Structure 1
Amino acid sequence: MKWNLVFLGLLLTFGQLSWGQKGMDIPEYDGKDRVHDLNAKNYKSVMKKYDVMVVYYHEHVGSSKVAQKQFQIEELALELAAQVLEDLDDEDIGIGLLDEKTDKVVAKKLGLDEADSIYIFIEDEVIEYDGELAADTLVEFLYDVIEDPVEIIDNMRELKGFHNIEEDIKLVGFFKSQKSEHYHEYEDAAEEFHPHIKFFATFSPKVAKSLDLKLNEVDFYEPFMDEPVVIPGKPYSEKELVDFIEDNDRPTLRKMQPYNMYEIWEDALDGEHIIAFAEEGDPDGFEFLEIVKEVAEDNTDNPNLSIIWIDPDDFPLLVPYWENTFDIDLSSPQIGVVEVDDAESIWFDMDDDDDMPTVEELEDWLEDVLENKIDPDDDDDDDDDDDDDDDDDDDDDDDDDDDDDDDDDDDDDDDDDDDDDDDDDDDDDDDDDDDDDDDDDDDDDDDDDDDDDDDDDDDDDDDDDDDDDDDDDDDDDDDDDDD
């Protein structure tokens, strides 16, 4: 029996040995070692010492500090239980530890196949304990184990006590005597289910008449049901009784107790539980529980309907965990559907006023649950859709941001292009100006050169003229001389 994830690790969280209701008084640990470390060499001799042997087949404790701390707490709970059981006069009950890794051979010989489980060896029977690993709960369970598998109802006072038991599956049969062959078959069947299912018998015709039982007939009572189911086919063999019980051992309404919490949690229909939280001692809780009981009684023939009732007062240390995990307020009654594997859930919508739902309203809601119209997975899908919407919004925002960035980049590019164009224009203007200046300079130089040339020409002409004049004058003078 594995500790289920819904409860796993809570011992460490709360630092307590028990999260259930306060049961029997457990003394402080006196420091004496009573729990045996079983191995291949000693397990036979140790188990022979006791009428009843309790074996905790645990996973190997490695180097993890968390695992070591958890194992220390579990070992202390077993030591406390052994200390209390030591004072029993009628039975010698021993407790031992068996390591999954180092003691595989011993586990195989004893028929132990599931680690983190507690097995109880009594006579030729092996009983698996499916409750919390707490000293008080384990001790009380062991007290039931050492009781006889069948309780005899001898008188009307004891019959009244039988009727007061409503939270457990119970059977009652009428037989001629304890020597009856049919009673022996009944007793053998009881040993198969002891102490999880209560077996009663009477040899009193008066008691049988009050129960409306015929000789060798057995009635089967579901929890919280006033009217029994008569097991057909009397007289019965052991096998016939066992087969009928196994076919009907999931009641329409059952209560989770500290001694059966893991067994009930793991026994789910299609991986889901319908859970009703209600405090029986609270007026609203009591009223709601009566409604749930009526719904269960009206639908007891529906094999698909199974409701687990949890009284928060029985598990005070688990209340904050459940409220946080399931997102509910356990100060008022609640009913919902819970996934066993991941603890996802969806809950009946209670009105804000003080009125409880009617039987009809609750039956309609349960019908929708059974038809999968209401399912925790659908609630997950809605959450996923919301997440997708958020993602889409984020994507849109990202796209907008990208567009804005692109626009900004384009604007920057345009500005850069404009600047480049302006720079090019300026450069061109400068080049033109330079060219104009160069042209002007060239023109000026040319003009100057032309002027110089003209001046030179003029000078030459003047010189020539002067020369001619001089020559003429000379000629005239010569002529005068000749004369």
Structure 2
Amino acid sequence: MKWTWVLVAVLLSFGGLSLGKDSLDFPEYDGKDRVHHLSAKNYKSVMKKYDVMVLYYHDHPGSSRVAQRQFEIEELALEVGSDEKILPSLSRLSTKYMCCFHSGLEESDSIFIFTDDEVIEYDGELAADTLVEFIYDVLEDPVEIIDNSKELKGFENIEEDIKLVGYFKSHKSEHFEAYADAAEEFHPHIKFFATFNPKVAKALELKLNEVDFYEPFMDDPVVIPGKPYTEEELVDFIEDNDRPTLRKLQPHNMYEIWDDDVDGEHIIAFAEESDPDGYEFLEILKQVAEDNTDNPDLSIVWIDPDDFPLLLPHWEKTFGIDLSSPQIGVVDADDADSVWLDMDDGEDLPSVDELEDWIEDALSGEIDPDDDDDDDDDDDDDDDDDDDDDDDDDDDDDDDDDDDDDDDDDDDDDDDDDDDDDDDDDDDDDDDDDDDDDDDDDDDDDDDY
């Protein structure tokens, strides 16, 4: 069988990590075989041994020594403690088997989590702590039950995620079962809550078999119409409303959100919640989102710089902004061209009305990140014109210099000619004088004879 791809099955352990005596020591191989060569025959038996299996799908290392070394490092990273239910492992699958195994395994470096009958794709940051936290969420029940005032308070404190809550008669209610089945379709990306307590339902203003849908950062929910609901009706409603007006980019969903652009663009807002200016700007964003929650074309992505410290230099360089103060702009999802609202380094934050006007211009296309390309082209043209002007000036200077040189040469030649003429005249005069002297001498000689 020809190997063309590698699928790494990572069965993570939630026991204590054993990284050696020192925190700086590299882990050493303990002799345990954590590599599974999966096939159609042994896959089900391997799955039955563990509660969760995480599959990391990447290119086959082939004969490349660098790729093989990378594969060995990935395997070494899995040499951690294990328990009876979850065991770290690597596995390889052929392309042919993967097509039978799961039709979604097409993109290299994808991560899939298998638990029970569900297959969940992980679209977050490739960091161990983020992935492990996400898997903990996967292990939780799809529906969390609210039974008292403390649990109700915890529910109310969740504002950064989409959440739903329903009131049902009991666990055995067919309407609750439909609700729970719908929850499995979106778990753990969307949080589902339910209550069987009439007092809690009264506090939430819920009627029997009714479900409320909460957007992130919204105080007032939307009552899903048409109760009691089937699973399909709940799934359809959620899919039609799963792009919030204001949503937060978080490590566990960063790629999922970035792929969910609106007409190829994102409205991005940077605001540090722990900073006074950032907090004030975030409150303005929340008010704008609440005022425009019915606009299907508006979706603002909020990024807290504190959540992505290693990406700050990259963002500042790419977008040409200073993230020490709040920022909001329109970003092209493909080439990262962007246009940003001028806020005077956070000293003069826009009002709700001013920000709404700016967003309206952005949605209408009046503010377009592609205009940045036109500006660059204009700058290039200006540079070319300047270069041409410089070249012309240089040519003129050269011509002037040549003319001056020619004039100097002519003057020199004239001077030389004059000097030569003077010399000739002097020579002639000298010759005449000599001749006269000779004649006088001859006359004297004649007299002597």
Same fold, judged at TM 0.5 (above): yes
> CA 1:35/1:411 → structure 2, altered by over 3 Å: closer, same or farther?
farther
Query: Cα distance, 1:355 vs. partner?
Result: 3.6
Match in the other structure for 2:173: 180
Distance 1:266 1:410 in 2: 66
Match in the other structure for 2:358: 365
Match in the other structure for 1:170: 163
Distance 1:338 1:64 in 2: 38
Structural mapping, 1:221-260, within 5 Å: 221-260=214-253
**Contact 2:326–2:346 (Cα < 8 Å) also in 1:** no
Structural mapping, 1:434-449, within 5 Å: none
Q: Flag the structure with more relative contact order, 1 or 2, with Cα contacts below 8 A and sequence separation at least 6.
A: 1
Match in the other structure for 2:59: 59
**Contact 1:58–1:98 (Cα < 8 Å) also in 2:** no
Match in the other structure for 1:277: 270
Deviations 1:268-294 (A, max 9, x none): 112221111111112221111111111
Partner secondary structure for residue 206 of structure 2: coil
Alignment partner of 1:104 is 2:95: yes
Distance 1:117 1:397 in 2: 54
Partner secondary structure for residue 256 of structure 2: helix
Match in the other structure for 1:300: 293
Distance 1:155 1:95 in 2: 41
Distance 2:70 2:340 in 1: 33
Partner secondary structure for residue 286 of structure 2: helix
> CA 1:73/1:228 → structure 2, altered by over 3 Å: closer, same or farther?
farther
> CA 1:73/1:261 → structure 2, altered by over 3 Å: closer, same or farther?
farther
Query: Cα distance, 1:404 vs. partner?
Result: 5.4
Query: Cα distance, 1:139 vs. partner?
Result: 1.1
Distance 1:231 1:260 in 2: 25
Distance 1:399 1:316 in 2: 50
Query: Cα distance, 1:402 vs. partner?
Result: 4.5
Which portions of structure 1, spanning 4 or more consecutive aligned residues, are displaced by more than 4 angstroms? 24-27, 32-35, 41-45, 62-77, 402-416
Alignment partner of 1:115 is 2:115: no
Match in the other structure for 2:86: 92
Match in the other structure for 1:144: 137
Return the index of the structure with the highest Cα Rg: 1
> CA 1:275/1:67 → structure 2, altered by over 3 Å: closer, same or farther?
farther
Query: Cα distance, 1:71 vs. partner?
Result: 5.8
Q: Give, as a single letter, the amino acid of the residue that structure 2 aligns with 1:104.
A: T
Q: Gaps (5+ residues) in structure 2?
A: 1-14, 20-26, 415-449
**Contact 1:223–1:254 (Cα < 8 Å) also in 2:** yes
Farther off after superposition, 376-385 or 188-197: 376-385
Percentage of pairs with the same residue:
74
Q: Give, as a single letter, the amino acid of the residue that structure 1 aligns with 2:299.
A: S
> CA 1:66/1:358 → structure 2, altered by over 3 Å: closer, same or farther?
farther
Q: Give, as a single letter, the amino acid of the residue that structure 2 aligns with 1:392.
A: D
Distance 1:412 1:60 in 2: 73
Partner secondary structure for residue 366 of structure 1: helix
> CA 1:306/1:45 → structure 2, altered by over 3 Å: closer, same or farther?
same
Partner secondary structure for residue 56 of structure 2: strand
Farther off after superposition, 49-58 or 183-192: 49-58
Structural mapping, 1:350-389, within 5 Å: 350-352=343-345, 354-389=347-382
Partner secondary structure for residue 178 of structure 1: coil
Match in the other structure for 1:133: 126
Alignment partner of 1:36 is 2:35: yes
> CA 1:342/1:413 → structure 2, altered by over 3 Å: closer, same or farther?
same
Q: Aligned to 1:262, which of 231, 255, 262?
A: 255
Deviations 1:251-309 (A, max 9, x none): 11111111111111111112221111111112221111111111111111111111111
Match in the other structure for 1:322: 315
**Contact 1:276–1:309 (Cα < 8 Å) also in 2:** yes
> CA 1:185/1:282 → structure 2, altered by over 3 Å: closer, same or farther?
same
**Contact 1:171–1:198 (Cα < 8 Å) also in 2:** yes
> CA 1:30/1:174 → structure 2, altered by over 3 Å: closer, same or farther?
farther
Query: Cα distance, 1:187 vs. partner?
Result: 0.8
Deviations 1:130-182 (A, max 9, x none): 11122111111111111111111111221111101111100011111111111
Alignment partner of 1:338 is 2:328: no
> CA 1:282/1:352 → structure 2, altered by over 3 Å: closer, same or farther?
closer
**Contact 2:326–2:345 (Cα < 8 Å) also in 1:** no
> CA 1:378/1:51 → structure 2, altered by over 3 Å: closer, same or farther?
same
Query: Cα distance, 1:69 vs. partner?
Result: 7.3
Normalising by structure 2, what TM-score?
A: 0.78
Q: Give, as a single letter, the amino acid of the residue that structure 1 aligns with 2:246.
A: L
Q: Gaps (5+ residues) in structure 1?
A: 1-23, 423-483
**Contact 1:57–1:97 (Cα < 8 Å) also in 2:** no
**Contact 1:252–1:306 (Cα < 8 Å) also in 2:** yes
Distance 1:353 1:128 in 2: 38
Distance 1:70 1:403 in 2: 62
Distance 1:362 1:64 in 2: 53
**Contact 1:56–1:98 (Cα < 8 Å) also in 2:** no
Normalising by structure 1, what TM-score?
A: 0.73
Partner secondary structure for residue 266 of structure 2: strand
Match in the other structure for 2:426: none
Distance 1:226 1:185 in 2: 26
Distance 1:218 1:47 in 2: 35
Distance 1:391 1:324 in 2: 26
> CA 1:198/1:257 → structure 2, altered by over 3 Å: closer, same or farther?
same
